[in-house]
Structure 1
């Protein structure tokens, strides 16, 4: 991660230094990461995600190559099954929230709608 060759830091030594500074590092087994912007969505499949907690301040690092997807593409298509259920929330998002939070699809849909489609916020509100 910090370069090959003789000048790189030893990962174990780096972990020890971070622990001494009060920084906890945790790998997250993420299946998908979506970053939504006004213009487009960045979708990372099989991304490497690391959470660093430095005295209560959480930082997430995402490593991978995202696919650029048109923002709100499920809302604008008009013909997809996801939008036909009377909701602009994609079925995949509902399934993901229901699975992660251990709730029914109806509860997951309501949480997503209450949180503007934000997956992380919806899961957090259900936990």
Structure 2
């Protein structure tokens, strides 16, 4: 990108300033979480750099992310249906639904021992 491949950091800062560009490393970042519908991407001990250019701030996250899937929401009606079909307790029905990611038929089969 640059001739010679080596750039003086002082000159780089000067060039960025001329372009109206600022970079700042955010200090003491403990954790960054990106929430999605399917779960969260969690960065522990991430390095975050804020770049400001033409009035827009862009954040760059450097680090290893781990994915935490979203908890399955189990409707009360599903718990009741599994209870009626298997004569199981509410707690057992809910546990089976959570284990099967909310699949009612699979939860009934699991509790029926089939």
TM-score between the two structures when normalised by the length of structure 2: 0.53
- Any idea what the Cα deviations from partners look like across 1:20-71, whole Å, max 9, x if unmatched? 1001111102111001111121100110100011121010000001011112
Higher relative CO (Cα under 8 Å, sequence separation at least 6) belongs to 2
Aligned to 1:26: 24
4+ residue runs of structure 1 moved beyond 6 angstroms?
none
Say what the alpha-carbon RMSD is for the aligned residues. 2.2
TM-superposed deviation, 1:9: 3.2
Unaligned segments of structure 1, at least 5 residues: 77-127
Q: Where is the strand percentage greater, Structure 1 or Structure 2?
A: 2
- Aligned residue for 1:35? 34
Compute the TM-score of the two structures, normalised by the length of structure 1. 0.48
